[in-house]
């Protein structure tokens, strides 16, 4: 059984969608499309009456609603918010540390689709890189019963994680990045890892964001 991303070509590349119960790292630089990809993924589930939740450590609920309003196929998000789509803004502070954050997530009921935007923000509130890795491992354990979790991760340049083990802890790794072609720079998406799934590793595909929709195209970047 698979969990559809909401993007036909993306699902095809994944052999049908994300494997059930997997925790997938979606990494990328600023503006690469992490948040919009995650919102598209959640809305796909919300429309099927699945229980969906966006846990945001960055943007507020209003900011996320505004992001949806800019794209035709995400415009109906508000219809589901407060019903089967929850948007939880958890601003981390000295009082909400990584440990407390894990407790909050561990107390969640089983959710079909969960997004955490973004996991590396927890680094700021970790005592050390070692404690971050240990807590990350603990967090990921609590996510196993969920239908599918997307953990967003901010990265630099060509990195697939922050260097603190996020890509090792997760079952799958997708990377969003930019290709600086002279004629026209483009967004690309690459599957680096998807446990128990057959896929073409490290073949980037074009990822397009317009005011109408988000999609992965047939263009293979060689």
Ligand X SMILES: Nc1ncnc2c1ncn2[C@@H]1O[C@H](COP(=O)(O)OP(=O)(O)OP(=O)(O)O)[C@@H](O)[C@H]1O
Binding site for ligand X (CB under 6 A): 28, 30-36, 70-71, 154, 209-211
CB of 36 to Mg ion, least distance (A): 8
Q: How far is the CB of 31 from ligand X (least distance, A)?
A: 3
Nearer to ligand X, 19 or 71 (CB): 71
* 90 phi/psi in degrees, rounded to 5: -115, 95
Please state the length of the chain: 222
Q: Which of 27, 32, 35, 155 binds Mg ion (CB under 5 A)?
A: 35
Which of ligand X, Mg ion, none does 23 bind, CB closer than 5 to 8 A by kind? none
Does residue 122 contact residue 104 with C-beta atoms inside 8 Å? no
Minimum distance between the CB of residue 52 and ligand X, rounded to whole angstroms? 17
Q: What is the DSSP letter of 14?
A: T
Q: For Mg ion, which is the closer residue by CB, 36 or 105? A: 36
Strand partners of residue 214: 209
Q: Which does 183 bind (CB under 5 to 8 A by kind): Mg ion, ligand X, none?
A: none
CA 17/CA 91 separation, integer angstroms? 31
Partner that binds at residue 28, options Mg ion, ligand X, none, CB closer than 5 to 8 Å by kind: ligand X
Smallest separation, CB 159 to Mg ion (Å): 17
The answer to whether the beta carbons of residues 113 and 147 sit under 8 Å apart is: yes
Name the residue nearer to ligand X (CB basis): 94 or 211: 211
Q: How far apart are CA 35 and CA 94, in angstroms?
A: 25
- Report the b/e string of 187-209 with b at 16+ CB within 10 A: bbbbbbbbeebeeeeeebbbbeb
The DSSP result for 19-51, as a single string, is ETTEEEEEEE-TTSSHHHHHHHHHHHHHHTT--
Q: Is 6 left (phi over 0), alpha (psi -120 to 50) or beta?
A: left
Q: Least Å distance between CB 113 and Mg ion?
A: 17
- Interaction partner, residue 210 (ligand X, Mg ion, none; CB < 5-8 Å by kind): ligand X
Q: Which does 180 bind (CB under 5 to 8 A by kind): Mg ion, ligand X, none?
A: none
Nearer to Mg ion, 28 or 204 (CB): 28
Read off the DSSP letter of residue 81. B
Q: How far is the CB of 144 from ligand X (least distance, A)?
A: 25
Based on CB atoms, which residue is closest to ligand X, 71 or 170?
71
Please say which residue, 142 or 215, places its beta carbon nearer to ligand X: 215
């Amino acid at each position: 059984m698979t969990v559809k991303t909401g993007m036909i070509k993306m699902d095809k590349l994944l052999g049908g969608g994300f494997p059930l119960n997997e925790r997938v790292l979606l990494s990328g630089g600023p503006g690469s499309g992490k948040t919009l990809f995650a919102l598209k993924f959640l809305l796909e589930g919300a429309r099927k009456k699945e229980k969906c939740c966006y846990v945001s450590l960055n943007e507020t609920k209003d900011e996320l609603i505004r992001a949806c309003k800019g794209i035709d196929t995400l415009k109906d998000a508000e219809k589901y918010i407060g019903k089967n789509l929850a948007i939880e803004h958890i601003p981390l502070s000295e009082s909400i540390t990584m440990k407390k954050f894990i407790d909050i997530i561990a107390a969640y009921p089983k959710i079909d689709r969960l997004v955490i935007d973004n996991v590396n923000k927890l680094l700021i509130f970790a005592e050390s890189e070692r404690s971050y890795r240990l807590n990350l491992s603990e967090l990921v354990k609590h996510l196993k019963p969920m239908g599918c979790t997307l953990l967003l991760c901010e990265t630099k340049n060509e990195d697939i994680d922050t260097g603190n083990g996020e890509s090792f802890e997760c079952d799958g790794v997708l990377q969003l990045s930019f290709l600086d072609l002279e004629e026209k720079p483009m967004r690309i998406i690459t599957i680096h890892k998807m446990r128990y799934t057959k896929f073409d590793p490290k073949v980037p595909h074009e990822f397009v964001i317009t005011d109408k929709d988000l999609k992965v195209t047939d263009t293979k970047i060689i």
